[in-house]
């Protein structure tokens, strides 16, 4: 069919959520995407499958007391909304908290999603109760990770495809949203040559024709800009974060290119908060890359010592897992764009996880036997993917003593490190290990983490001395800035209708997912609490699919 009730531009999670809901309503939908069918689900496929949910059975079983009001306070303290144009983002934030504390889990559970029983504690905060951070653990890892999350939305869409309600058009690159008298009429663009490239790898842009598709409603779900370093640098908030890094690595595939943002603007959409973005500070170069400049994020527990490029230990709240944007500012303030973790084998065994479905085959398998084999029965070894990075990764240095470790760090770092200066800082930290009180903020954070049953079981190592050979070998990791998410985007109302520069909905235009700042044009504000990227795609895509503005 070349005419439908709605056209969705982008076959990622937000697009699938919208398409599934429209199919349930009996609407005829065309889903276009510039990637091959092998890319169905977009970048959500590569995710860990984490979802921010509130007051769940999983939390209660782990002894976590959470509530809608506590979550809303954390969100608003993190968001720091301070602009006139934040009116819709604020409404979206409140609506998402209501969803996450209410219908979200039972709705997803009824669809077939299940979650690992230990709830993760991400973004633990910037140091103040009314500021950034999660007061309690809220990061629910979906069994099956990203593919396990997508599976249920894909299944619904494929059932509608079999029934003739959804028509997928892959290798269709949209160049224009067609408008007549200010109202959407469809999309036009370029047909791209078939490409057998595996999922995630860069595909060709060889044109083989053109196309025009008609619909009274166009929903843009094309993602952000994280794979386009030029756009990231152009939008970089230098005054707030410091100068953009000279070197970055990519946490998303190259097809996350941001090209639909300008196309939506030309049709009447309005971008707000384009300077708000979310990049990670714990990126390592993938030793077995899939896409250009492919980076992987380390999801650290709280125990690794964090040093800047010159070998000076960062001050709190620049602690592993606490305040991503605060740490990013601290790194860039040094004039360098990398930093170091120093840790032990005991820490890497218990605390290191790598973000993404392909780096967590046990969780991705959804099998308890695999989780137990990888994480419990592996002796002193970390999971197989972590050990592979330790062995093959260009950013990893392993040594039996500090002198050898620093010599290895100096081989891959740009700034020569003094072994005696590093030793003095580690010795001072080690002297606090047997002190149940401690004045070292990181040691206090470790003790606090181990008060949570989940962290004590699987995420936080028992405090120990780094320089005791029994805890070795010593490990250093060179950490890069890893691009990831766009926090601003196309402004939308709660029906996911695009809002024009005049403040009114643009007839027939909708946006959902990352291209809409996950809702409203930036429902995170300045900071994300994690699990809110997939959650935002699901929520805003669902709102678009249920919108009564799509008749």
Sign of CA dihedral 370, 376, 378, 381: positive
**pLDDT at residue 466 in the model:** 98
Distance between CA atoms of residues 107 and 117, nearest Å: 18
**pLDDT at residue 373 in the model:** 86
Q: Which pLDDT tens digit goes with each residue over 416-468?
A: 999 999 999 999 999 999 888 899 999 999 999 999 999 998 899 999 999 99
Q: Exposed/middle/buried for 160, CB within 10 Å: 0-12, 13-18, 19+? A: buried
**pLDDT at residue 435 in the model:** 87
Task: Determine contact, residues 504/182, Cβ cutoff 8 Å.
Answer: no
187 forms beta bridges with 177, 213
Distance between CA atoms of residues 78 and 75, nearest Å: 5
User: Which residues have C-beta within 8 Å of that of residue 34, sequence separation ≥ 6?
Assistant: 171, 172, 173, 174, 192, 203, 205, 255
Q: Which pLDDT tens digit goes with each residue over 396-421?
A: 999 999 999 999 999 999 999 999 99
Q: Which residue has the tokens 């953009």?
A: 244
Q: Which residue has the tokens 């790898």?
A: 201
**pLDDT at residue 124 in the model:** 96
Positions in the chain short of pLDDT 70: 1
Distance between CA atoms of residues 38 and 36, nearest Å: 5
Q: Which pLDDT tens digit goes with each residue over 345-391?
A: 999 999 999 999 989 998 898 888 888 888 877 888 999 999 999 99
pTM for the predicted model, two decimal places: 0.96
């Amino acid at each position: 069919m070349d005419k439908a009730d709605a056209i969705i531009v982008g076959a990622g999670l937000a697009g699938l959520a919208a398409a599934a809901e429209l199919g349930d309503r009996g609407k005829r939908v065309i889903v276009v995407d510039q990637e091959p069918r092998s890319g169905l689900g977009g970048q959500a496929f590569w995710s860990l499958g984490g979802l921010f949910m509130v007051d769940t059975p999983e939390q209660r079983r782990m002894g976590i007391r959470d509530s809608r009001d506590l979550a809303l306070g954390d969100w608003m303290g993190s968001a720091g909304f301070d602009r006139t144009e934040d009116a819709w983002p604020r409404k979206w934030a409140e609506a998402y908290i209501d969803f996450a504390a209410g219908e979200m889990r039972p709705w997803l559970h009824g669809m077939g999603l299940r979650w690992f029983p230990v709830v993760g504690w991400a973004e633990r905060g910037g140091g103040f109760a009314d500021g950034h951070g999660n007061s309690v653990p809220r990061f629910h890892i979906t069994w099956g990770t990203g593919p396990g999350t997508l599976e249920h939305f894909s299944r619904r869409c494929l059932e509608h495809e079999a029934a003739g309600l959804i028509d997928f058009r892959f290798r269709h690159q949209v160049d224009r949203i067609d408008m007549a008298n200010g109202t959407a009429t469809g999309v036009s663009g370029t047909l791209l040559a078939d490409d057998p490239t595996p999922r995630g790898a860069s595909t060709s842009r060889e044109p083989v024709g053109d196309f025009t598709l008609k619909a009274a409603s166009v929903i843009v779900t094309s993602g952000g800009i994280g794979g386009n370093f030029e756009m990231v640098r152009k939008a970089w908030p230098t005054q707030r974060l410091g100068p953009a890094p000279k070197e970055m690595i990519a946490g998303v595939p190259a097809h996350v290119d941001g090209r639909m943002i300008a196309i939506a603007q030309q049709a009447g959409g309005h971008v707000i908060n384009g300077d708000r973005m979310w990049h990670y500070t714990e990126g390592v170069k993938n030793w077995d890359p899939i896409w250009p400049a492919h980076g992987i994020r380390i999801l650290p527990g709280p125990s690794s010592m964090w040093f800047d490029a010159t070998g000076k230990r960062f001050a709190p709240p620049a602690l592993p897992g606490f305040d991503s944007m605060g740490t990013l500012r601290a790194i860039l303030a040094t004039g360098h764009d990398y930093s170091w973790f120093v840790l032990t084998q005991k820490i890497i065994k218990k605390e290191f996880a790598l973000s993404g479905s392909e780096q967590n085959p046990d969780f991705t398998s959804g099998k308890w036997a695999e989780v137990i084999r990888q994480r419990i029965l592996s002796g002193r070894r970390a999971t197989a993917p972590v050990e592979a990075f330790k062995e093959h990764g260009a950013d990893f240095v392993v040594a039996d003593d500090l002198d050898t470790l620093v010599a290895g760090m100096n081989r891959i770092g740009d700034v020569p490190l003094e072994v005696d200066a590093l030793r003095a800082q580690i010795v001072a930290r080690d002297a606090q290990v047997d002190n149940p009180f401690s004045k070292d903020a990181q040691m206090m954070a470790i003790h606090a983490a181990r008060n949570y049953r989940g962290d004590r079981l699987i995420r936080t190592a028992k405090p120990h001395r780094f320089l005791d050979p029994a805890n070795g070998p010593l490990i250093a990791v060179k950490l890069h800035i890893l691009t990831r998410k766009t926090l601003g985007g196309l402004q939308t109302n709660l029906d996911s209708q695009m809002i024009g520069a005049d403040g009114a909905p643009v007839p027939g235009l909708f946006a959902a997912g990352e291209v809409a700042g996950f809702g409203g044009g930036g429902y995170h504000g300045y900071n994300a609490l994690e699990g809110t990227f997939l959650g935002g795609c699901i929520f805003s895509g669902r709102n678009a699919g249920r919108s009564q503005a799509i008749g």
